[in-house]
Structure formats: C-alpha cells, structure tokens
Structure 1
Amino acid sequence: MTQDHLWLVDPCASEPYFLAGLGHRPMGGTEATVLRVLSGLAEKGVRSRLFQRADTGSRVSNDPLFYTSLQEAYRAADPSTVIVVINAWKVAIKLRKSHPAARILLWLHNYPGRHNRKMGAALVHAGVEVVCVSHSHATHLRRFLGNAVTGAPKIHVIYNPVSDALKRDATRRDPDLLLFASAPHKGLAEIFERFVAVRQAMPSLSLHVADPGYMTWTTPTPPEGVAMLGPLPQSELHCIMRQALCLFYPQSIFAETFGLVIAEANALGTPVICQRGLGANDEIVSTDDQTLECSDISALVARLTLWRRDPPRIKTQDAFRIEAVVDAWFELLQQPAGVTVAPPEPATTALAS
C-alpha cells in the first residue's frame, strides 16, 4: 500500500465527525475509534480519506485527515487503494463493482442480524475481507456465516483503541457512587432494576447515568437514587469515572462486540461489574472478578461490599492501547490480501492489590 491510498468509508454515522471534535462533542465509540486509528496511521505516514454519509466538505484546518462525502467513494481510484468500509456489507459489495482491483475490507463493529444470512457468500464472491474487533466477535461471526459450500470470508481481529491519556491517578473513590456510561438501549432498564435491588441492601448508593448523546433513545424512568447526567464532554465523564466505585453494567440485554467503555474504565483504574459470558465482556475486562452472573443480586452486593472496603488496583490490557492497535492496522494494510492478522487472546487474572 502506498502512503496515500487508504479510504475509510462510513455510510452509517448520522452526522459527520472530525478529529477536532474527539473528546469535545458527543460521539459514538465507533466514530472515536475510526478517528484514533486514522490519526495514528497518519503519524506513520499513511494519508487517509474519510468518506461519510453527510456532506463534509474537505480538509479541516490543522487536521491530518481528508474528509469528503460518501458519493465520492464510487469515483475512480488507484488500483493500490485499500478501502475499509464500516459495518455496511452491502456498500462494500457495491464498491467492489466500482473498484474491481482494490483491496476491500469490511470493518464490523456490530453483530449482523438474521436478515444478513446472505452476506457471507456475497463477501466471498466479491473478495471482501472482514475485520472484527475482538476474538469473541470473530467467533460469533464465523458461526453466523458458516457455510461449507461457499466458504467464508477471511476474518481478521484488531481491537478498538484506548487512549494513552487514560491512566489511573490519585483521585479518591466515592464508595457510594456507581456509574453507567452507555446509550440507554444497552440495557438501561435492566440496570435500573438491579440498582434498585442492590440499593435495598446498600441504601446509601447512588447511580449516575451518562448518555453519550450521539443518538436519541427512549430512556426509562429513573428510580430513586439515580442522577441523569445527559451527554458530557469526555474529560468530565472520565473525571466522574475516576471517582466512581465502579462502572455499573450488570445487564444481559446488549452484547458488546468490544466494549470500549469497559476498557476505558479499566484504563482509569475503575473496575467494572458486567455480565459473565455476554458478548466480549470476559475478553475485555482486565480481571476475572469483574464478570458475574448479574441476576444474582447477593453476588452483586458482595462484590460492591468488597470493593468499598478494598478498591482494586487495575489497568486496561496493553493490547488495547493505541500504539498496539495502530501497529496491527499498519501491518494489515501492508499485507497481501487475505493474510490474517489477529492479536493473541488476552488472559484475565484475579484482581491485583
């Protein structure tokens, strides 16, 4: 791949996004990941174009990326161009018709639904590779796509990145403060139910809810003890996250393909309570004791009681740091089409003191 032939095509984001907004405006985890990876690759000399559904104009002042509208992705490109498409496999197939010689990768950040059963054969036929964001994500996708007749597309695994700026500091933790920092559709109603149950045993607890604010969702009525914070700048959210006893995420409704908020909480030294065996939870937490059978209220109370008495000292896994993630992308972009790049599965450990 030459230095200026990476095209990132995002047909999904409802609003255009730019590096200047990273950390300063509401933004989904996928969009933040895209910007961090492209910015890191720019430091390695890889010049990228980011094609978005909304018309974005062109280059933003002092920004290493070039922004343009989605329609421009269908124009002629150099045969050495590598095209990475976010989530939309049908767009990847359509782009193959416009770019018969280009290497095309589908960067999945979600689990495909049952109506996408035909995507495996279509991706194989079009020669489109897939990048998943965790090993559990890739395992799920292989099972979903499994077809002995048509085969399956080449699948790579590259984690989402955690900013190097997120590190534990000397902030004192509030033993009564729990934090939920995800969109409401990620099991917030169940979070409320379990908070109410836990609070019966620990009535001094409070729950702060920070909505990333990148989409509009129906929010359940908050029970007593819950403070709805709405969208927050990342700096303010991370300040609260440092203070919280834990990231309170004991829901069984929404399976994360990666779980950036989990990795970021651990990077700040904040433990997480999340459902064992759900999505990528077990792979992304840095210690085994952060996953529980969360329908067991007595287990939730016991874990919170332990952490109130003896807050754990943890950090995120090195494989999630931006340098490691950008290196993995750089290696993949240099490889011939079809070569698998997958980081080793991280091993979780007991809580460190």
Structure 2
Amino acid sequence: MNRKTVLFLDNTYPKAYQSSTLQEQAIGGTEASVVKTAQILSQQFNVIVAQKYRIDNCVESEHLQFIPKFDIKSTSPDFIIILRKFPLVKEMRKQFPKAQIFLWLHTYKNLEYAFKKHILAKTNCHIICNSKTHQQDTNRLLNDTWLSKIIGMTAKKIPVHFCYNPVAAPNLKPIDRNINKLLFFSSPNKGLDQVIKCFEYLRQSMPKLRLYIANPGYKKSNNKSLNPQINILGSLPHEQMMQHVAESLCVFYPQNTFAETFGLIYAEANAYRTPVLAHDIGSAREILHPNNPLVDANNYQEIVQTIENWQKNLPEVSYNPQFSDDFILNQWLGLLI
C-alpha cells in the first residue's frame, strides 16, 4: 500500500504531547483531538504531528510520529493540517508548494476574518471546522457576508469543511450517581465566573449542592476554594476526569459568553450518560443528545427547576456514533482522497 503523508502542525500548545499524554495528565481538548485524529488517520496514512515546543522525536508506530517543528524540513507531506495559526499558511505553501493545505480552526471568527480570504485563495488553502454549526458560521464569514463578497470579486470562494472530534465509546459500569454533585470541567475562560454566580444562587434554595471544578491546565485560574461547597479538582488525567463525569448529576455549564465549536464537554458527558446543563450557544444543540434540554443561562428559576427535575428523573442520554473512529475516518477520507 502506497501511503500518503499527513502533517499536522501545532505552533501554539506550550508543551510537547503524544498519545501517552492523554493517560498521564490533563490536556486541552484541541490537543487531545489532534492526538486521537492522528491515531485514526495512521490506519491509512503516514501521519506526522509537528510541534513548535517539542525538542525530541517520539515514534509511536510505523505510521505515526511526533516531531519538533524544525524537523519538518526533512518531511514530504501530501497534506498539511495547520492548527489555528493563519500566518503559517503562507510559510507552509512556500516550503511545500505541492502539498494540499488545510487550516483547522477551533474558534469562531469575527467579520474581519474575511480579509484573510485573498491569501487563503492564493495559497489554495481549505478550512476545516469542528461541527456543522462552526462550518456554517465560518462559511458565512468567508463567502457570504457583504465584506467577503466584495473581496470575492478578486478572490475565489474558500472551501469550508467540517470533521467532528473523536470521542471513544466508554466501557460503562454500574456507578452510584451523586444527585448533589455538579461538575464544571472546562478552561476557566469559558464562562466560569458566570457558572459560579449561578451556583451560588442555586445554593440558596438547594443547600446540599456541591460544585466540582476541573481545569485542563492550559489556562490558569484565580479561583481557589471560594467556599466549602466548591471543590477545586485542578488538572486531572482523562480517566480520572471521566470518573467524576460519571458520578455527577450533570455537567454544570450555564454560561452564554463562550461558544463551543464542538464541545468535548458535551460529547463526553453524554457518552457517560450524564446530561449537560448548558445554554443554547455555539454547537450545543448539534452535539448534545436530543434528550438533553438546553436552558437560558440567565434564567435562574428555570435552572433551579431543571436541577430539581433531574434529581428525580435524569434525562436518558447516550454516546453518539458520529463521534466514533470509523465515522471520523470517513469524514477525513472525504477531504484527503
């Protein structure tokens, strides 16, 4: 089999990571998705993950390796997947003129992102998003707003695709769920202050509730043990984090300031049959199970009622096979073959 080569380029994450990192320590959702996607693609491609802050090589198999960015000069990729960083598009096009380049976005962009359309078109760079919701918003900005249409008079339409993030189906075991345990396991910049404010309101009428806060570790939090009812878990390896997810009444995420492009927080919680109390923002409605209702993050009475209802009768949510390895592989094959 004549395998083509896929190069992932991470110029952002401040630490080296590889497959073993997922079991050893907390890691950002984006980086976890890169590792899992690289593992999946290595079934049919030679996959290289290059990282700016890596200093040594990590060869995991015949078809998967993690290398320092400065070593990419010795590679000959057919496909280059740039994580987040638009300025690298021109650099990679100059260094690898024959490769197909993709820019894998992990955030929503503002109107001014349309100004990047010229370079994206000139370099024949495609965009990869994390969900249909993310794809539609990005396509609108690059191809369908008044600004993008003006720019489009001299630049072709930019192809915008989406591939879901991989989520493994868990090996579910009987577990005692604590109906008073609420869990927040996201970066603190994702609405944590709003979440804590809501929790403190809930405690006025539901004093038995406890909030557990975990952090993937790439954003520092100033939140300490704010009160005895808030437990700071810190950064936990994935397996330990999922144990907390399985034990909790719900993932507690009533915030409307940060829009997830995919939301591992949604997909992983539902996979463990744990609902997510979340606002209808970003990809929430697309990624969450149909039985997982959404709330208004500013309507505290609705949130109180939802918690009380869930304590009596938890909604039945489950794993989504669209996040499986096979489904993800087929999505990427649609882009790379």
TM-score (normalised: structure 1)? 0.87
Q: 1:156 matched to which residue of 2?
A: 161
Task: Give the deviation of 1:63 after TM superposition.
Answer: 7.8
Alignment partner of 1:133 out of 124, 130, 133: 130
Q: 2:58 matched to which residue of 1?
A: 59
Residues 326-345 of structure 1: pairs in structure 2 closer than 5 A: 326-334=329-337
* Alpha carbons 2:166, 2:328 under 8 Å: kept: yes
* Alpha carbons 1:192, 1:223 under 8 Å: kept: no
Amino acid at match of 1:9: L
Task: Give the deviation of 1:153 after TM superposition.
Answer: 1.1
Q: 1:8 matched to which residue of 2?
A: 8
- The CA distance in 2 between the partners of 1:177 and 1:46, in whole Å, is 43
Residues 40-189 of structure 1: pairs in structure 2 closer than 5 A: 40-42=40-42, 44-60=43-59, 64-73=63-72, 75=73, 78=76, 81-113=78-110, 116-146=113-143, 147-148=148-149, 149=153, 150-164=155-169, 166-189=170-193
Q: 1:317 matched to which residue of 2?
A: 320
* Alpha carbons 2:291, 2:316 under 8 Å: kept: no
- The CA distance in 2 between the partners of 1:41 and 1:325, in whole Å, is 9
Deviation sequence 1:79-105 (CA, Å, 0-9, x none): x71111111111022211122211111
- The CA distance in 2 between the partners of 1:252 and 1:314, in whole Å, is 22
* Alpha carbons 1:121, 1:152 under 8 Å: kept: no
- The CA distance in 1 between the partners of 2:244 and 2:131, in whole Å, is 27
Amino acid at match of 1:154: P
Amino acid at match of 2:31: E
- The CA distance in 2 between the partners of 1:182 and 1:256, in whole Å, is 11
- The CA distance in 1 between the partners of 2:62 and 2:295, in whole Å, is 43
Deviation sequence 1:232-258 (CA, Å, 0-9, x none): 121111111101000000011111110
Residues 76 and 114 (structure 1 numbering): CA distance in 2 closer, same or farther, change over 3 Å? farther
Number of residues paired by the alignment? 329
Give the percent of matched residue pairs that are identical in Structure 1 and Structure 2.
Answer: 28
Q: 1:228 matched to which residue of 2?
A: 232
Q: 1:266 matched to which residue of 2?
A: 270
- The CA distance in 2 between the partners of 1:143 and 1:307, in whole Å, is 37
Q: 1:345 matched to which residue of 2?
A: none
The alignment partner of 1:89 has SS state of: coil
The alignment partner of 1:290 has SS state of: coil
Amino acid at match of 1:322: D
Deviation sequence 1:99-124 (CA, Å, 0-9, x none): 22111111111123566442222111
The alignment partner of 2:139 has SS state of: helix
Deviation sequence 1:262-298 (CA, Å, 0-9, x none): 100000000000001x111111111254311121111
Task: Give the deviation of 1:137 after TM superposition.
Answer: 0.6
Residues 205 and 217 (structure 1 numbering): CA distance in 2 closer, same or farther, change over 3 Å? closer
- The CA distance in 2 between the partners of 1:126 and 1:326, in whole Å, is 26
Task: Give the deviation of 1:9 after TM superposition.
Answer: 0.9
Q: Give ranges in structure 1 of 5+ residues lacking alignment.
A: 335-353
* Alpha carbons 1:18, 1:35 under 8 Å: kept: yes
Residues 76 and 18 (structure 1 numbering): CA distance in 2 closer, same or farther, change over 3 Å? closer
Residues 9-24 of structure 1: pairs in structure 2 closer than 5 A: 9-24=9-24
Task: Give the deviation of 1:223 after TM superposition.
Answer: 4.0
Task: Give the deviation of 1:225 after TM superposition.
Answer: 1.2
The alignment partner of 1:291 has SS state of: coil
Residues 109 and 85 (structure 1 numbering): CA distance in 2 closer, same or farther, change over 3 Å? same
The alignment partner of 1:35 has SS state of: helix
The alignment partner of 1:16 has SS state of: coil
* Alpha carbons 2:189, 2:219 under 8 Å: kept: no
* Alpha carbons 1:138, 1:157 under 8 Å: kept: yes
